[in-house]
Chain A
Amino acid sequence: MSSLILDVKNYSKSFHLHEQNKVIPSSHDVSFQVHAGQLTALIGPTGAGKSSILKGIYRTYLPSAGRILYHSAHDGCIDLARSDEHQILALRRHEIGFVTQFLHCLPRQATLDVVATPLLQQGMRAELAQEKAKELLNAMNLPERLWHISPATFSGGERQRVNLARGLISKPRLLLLDEPTASLDPKTAEKVMGLIQDLKQHGTAMLAIFHDPNITQQLADHIVELSPPPALTTLCQEKQIA
């Protein structure tokens, strides 16, 4: 049995929109675990709160309820839902990676630099980080002529590969993947799946959302099915006055 990395207990997330005076429920009472060297996949209909879970773990969203127990390399067990912001920033830099659904980067930053960023943040020398970025982009079939220009001008599939490369390059202890194979052609998707398998072998714990059930079947060690959230609630009258 491989070691437990992430233990999510009764996670819920809802959005309280003050202007519209509404509470939008998203993930609801979700519990699951992620182990080292294994991939847990989240499935469920659109709006069931799959992405909300990933964002809650990364603390891009502030969880509404539940506990997110992360077993860190050096600092023991940390509840990501409540942990100090500086601790979250340190974990993001050294242990937890996130491949978001869309790539956000500066329109003036070269692809190589975008991919090398996580290594630079860990303090690696620039030349070495660039070397590693080149290796990875090669492995992902991203043509060399694109390396020195910004991904802002890339096609969806090219961009997605840059996004993935940036997430994989630092070999994080926990990797969150939000539809990493969407908009890839079958051949490239195959390559990317190979890289994900490699990283699993290396011991990275993964939590992923795939749009394609076949890929989920091939890569996942555990599958967590989410049900759609309860209906939308409007706040009661008293709150409206407040």
Chain B
Amino acid sequence: MKKVLSVRNLSKTYGTGCPLCIASTGPEAETNVCPHCGSVVAIHDVSFDLYEGEILGIMGESGSGKSTIVKNLYFDQIPKSGQATFYDTDQTHPLFELNSAQQRWLKNHRFGMVYQNPHLGLNFNISAGGNIAERLLMSDLMHYGEIRQRVKTLLARTEVLLSRVDELPRNFSGGMQQRVQIAKALATQPPLLFLDEVTTGLDLSVQARILDLIMEIQQELNTAMIVVTHDLGVIRLLAGRTLVMKYGRIIETGLTDQILEDPQHAYTQRLVASAL
């Protein structure tokens, strides 16, 4: 099995930070706000590996640092410390040592991101098709006919009505906007995909179809994915392995069925016991 991503000791703090931040935050301190300087320790000392075709789940309550991990890896934020290595087909990229042009290149060509909020992932001033075309252009596809064809294939794959290709995303339902976002993320067939609470807030039937779509994509393209969610059902359905986060720390990792059936940490036990 091929490793796609390796993350070591990733940390991110909002605020100035002080020498006492780390010791006075975390699950034992039951806070991620440093009482001495008021900084927020969003994540601390996060390490994990991701393999080809694998779906890794990250679960935890709001504010536990789940999204911060993917935002740092997708270069939406700059980490305080830590390393991340992306193993591409023929070369390896030390993510946080690249310059911004190199980071943008990876973002446009090799990574995909689907946000909970479609406003972050889509440009609402251009059509659904235009959104995908934009990404194809950034990845150096220049021929109009080819772009148009590829856009249609992608939207058909994610079950967006082709008659609506030229409409603005604002006219779409929430589920449809997520499908356009997924089509956009998949446009360059990235080997690594980040999914941040993609089904949160959608109604059940729409959730189910989007989750099915994600599973199909994983089988077809063997894409490695990191799925951030607070929904145990999503974790159970998609993820082979799961990280459990609390107050910015990983408190437990394991095979998903083991995390759900035999959780070790007190917090995970409470979380699993709260499932509906």
Interface residues of A (CB under 8 A from B): 15-19, 55, 59-62, 85-86, 88-90, 106, 108, 120
Closest residue on chain A to residue B266 by CB atoms: A18
Q: Is the CB of B241 within 8 A of A60?
A: no
With an 8 A cutoff between CB atoms, is B208 at the interface?
yes
Question: Whole-angstrom distance between the alpha carbons of A62 and B261 in the complex?
Answer: 10
Closest residue on chain B to residue A88 by CB atoms: B255
Q: What are 30 contact pairs spanning A and B, CB under 8 A? A: A15-B262, A17-B269, A18-B265, A18-B266, A18-B269, A18-B270, A19-B266, A19-B270, A55-B262, A59-B255, A60-B258, A60-B261, A60-B262, A61-B261, A61-B262, A62-B254, A62-B258, A85-B241, A85-B254, A86-B49, A86-B51, A86-B54, A86-B241, A89-B54, A89-B240, A89-B241, A90-B1, A106-B237, A108-B212, A120-B219
Closest residue on chain B to residue A108 by CB atoms: B208
Give the residues in chain A near B270, CB-CB below 8 Å. Answer: 18-19
Interface residues of B (CB under 8 A from A): 1, 49, 51, 54, 208, 212, 219, 237, 240-241, 253-255, 257-258, 261-262, 264-266, 269-270, 273
Question: Whole-angstrom distance between the alpha carbons of A88 and B269 in the complex?
Answer: 23
Question: Whole-angstrom distance between the alpha carbons of A62 and B262 in the complex?
Answer: 7
Given contacts A60-B255, A60-B257, A62-B258, 14 further A-B contacts (CB under 8 A): A15-B262, A16-B264, A17-B269, A18-B265, A18-B266, A19-B269, A19-B270, A59-B258, A61-B258, A62-B264, A85-B241, A85-B254, A86-B241, A89-B240
Q: Is the CB of A89 within 8 A of B261?
A: no
Give the residues in chain B near A59, CB-CB below 8 Å. Answer: 255, 258
Closest residue on chain B to residue A20 by CB atoms: B269
Closest residue on chain B to residue A109 by CB atoms: B212
Question: Whole-angstrom distance between the alpha carbons of A17 and B269 in the complex?
Answer: 8
Q: Which of A18, A55, A59, A108 has the most CB of B within 10 A?
A: A18
| A interface secondary structure, majority | mixed
Question: Whole-angstrom distance between the alpha carbons of A121 and B16 in the complex?
Answer: 48
Question: Whole-angstrom distance between the alpha carbons of A59 and B255 in the complex?
Answer: 8
7 smallest CB-CB distances across A and B, nearest first, come from A18-B266, A61-B262, A60-B257, A60-B261, A89-B240, A85-B241, A62-B262
Question: Whole-angstrom distance between the alpha carbons of A18 and B265 in the complex?
Answer: 8
Closest residue on chain B to residue A89 by CB atoms: B240
Question: Whole-angstrom distance between the alpha carbons of A16 and B264 in the complex?
Answer: 7
Give, as a whole number of angstroms, the nearest-CB distance from A87 to chain B: 9
Question: Whole-angstrom distance between the alpha carbons of A47 and B208 in the complex?
Answer: 36
Give the residues in chain A near B255, CB-CB below 8 Å. Answer: 59-60, 85, 88-89
Give the residues in chain B near A120, CB-CB below 8 Å. Answer: 219
Closest residue on chain A to residue B222 by CB atoms: A123
Among B1, B54, B261, point to the contact of A55 (Cβ < 8 A). Answer: B261
Question: Whole-angstrom distance between the alpha carbons of A90 and B264 in the complex?
Answer: 23
Among B1, B257, B262, B273, point to the contact of A19 (Cβ < 8 A). Answer: B273
Give the residues in chain B near A85, CB-CB below 8 Å. Answer: 241, 253-255
Q: Which of B241, B255, B266 has the most CB of A within 10 A?
A: B255
Give the residues in chain B near A108, CB-CB below 8 Å. Answer: 208, 212
Give, as a whole number of angstroms, the nearest-CB distance from B221 to chain A: 14
Question: Whole-angstrom distance between the alpha carbons of A120 and B219 in the complex?
Answer: 9
Give the residues in chain A near B208, CB-CB below 8 Å. Answer: 108
Question: Whole-angstrom distance between the alpha carbons of A106 and B240 in the complex?
Answer: 16
Closest residue on chain A to residue B49 by CB atoms: A86
Q: Which of B254, B262, B265, B273 has the most CB of A within 10 A?
A: B262
Give the residues in chain B near A15, CB-CB below 8 Å. Answer: 262
Give the residues in chain B near A62, CB-CB below 8 Å. Answer: 254, 258, 262, 264
Question: Whole-angstrom distance between the alpha carbons of A17 and B241 in the complex?
Answer: 22
Give, as a whole number of angstroms, the nearest-CB distance from A189 to chain B: 28
Give the residues in chain B near A18, CB-CB below 8 Å. Answer: 265-266, 269-270
Give, as a whole number of angstroms, the nearest-CB distance from B245 to chain A: 17
Closest residue on chain A to residue B212 by CB atoms: A108
Give the residues in chain A near B241, CB-CB below 8 Å. Answer: 85-86, 89
Give, as a whole number of angstroms, the nearest-CB distance from B241 to chain A: 5
Give the residues in chain A near B273, CB-CB below 8 Å. Answer: 19
Question: Whole-angstrom distance between the alpha carbons of A86 and B270 in the complex?
Answer: 26
Give, as a whole number of angstroms, the nearest-CB distance from B47 to chain A: 14
Give the residues in chain A near B253, CB-CB below 8 Å. Answer: 85
